[in-house]
Amino acid sequence: MDGRECTTCKKFKPWDSFSKQKAGKNGRSSKCKQCQLEYTMRRYQEDKTRFFKANERRRKRQRGGVYKVVTREGIYIGQSGNIKFRIESHKCRNAQSKVGSREVLSWEVLEYVEDPVLRLHREAYWIDKLKPELN
């Protein structure tokens, strides 16, 4: 025999139409190169769609906006492109944080704002309105 039948397309093809595969029964893949390429492209498209959907869900969770942190020493108003991550950094008592080593008693999102320039303006608005001690 000068070839084999592809398990996918069921056509008899010569040996050079199959990729080498040590684990294969004959030292060759069970799928012909064309069927393997089509399978790989189909999987790539499915994975790409799945990847972008996961990224979209991640972006929805990472919302930007203006927030308020309450500590024993007072209130702090801040803004971030990813509020939940920023609040966690305040809770870690980061030395570079404006809240610093103060214990975070509570926090709340004052408003969600995606545009960075508008977010700065809204932060200034909330600072003027609430007059926080730590800003």
Cα–Cα distance between 89 and 28 in angstroms, integer? 54
Instruction: Work out the percent of the chain whose per-residue pLDDT is above 90.
Output: 41
Q: Which whole number is the average pLDDT over 47-53?
A: 77
pLDDT of 58 reads 67
How high does pLDDT run on average in the chain?
84
Number of independent structural domains in the chain: 2
Residue 118: give the domain boundaries: 65-130
Query: Reading across the β-sheet that carries 65-71, which strands appear in turn?
Result: 75-80, 65-71, 104-112
Classified as helix, coil or strand, 101 is: coil
Q: Are residues 9 and 39 located together in one domain of the fold? A: yes
pLDDT at 135 over 90: no
pLDDT at 67 over 90: yes
Q: Are residues 18 and 41 located together in one domain of the fold? A: yes
pLDDT of 38 reads 93
Tell me the CA end-to-end span of the chain in Å, nearest whole number: 82
pLDDT tens track for 79-122: 998 888 887 777 765 555 555 556 778 889 999 998 889 999 99
Q: Are residues 124 and 69 located together in one domain of the fold? A: yes
Classified as helix, coil or strand, 109 is: strand
**Domain end (from 43, 61, 79):** 61
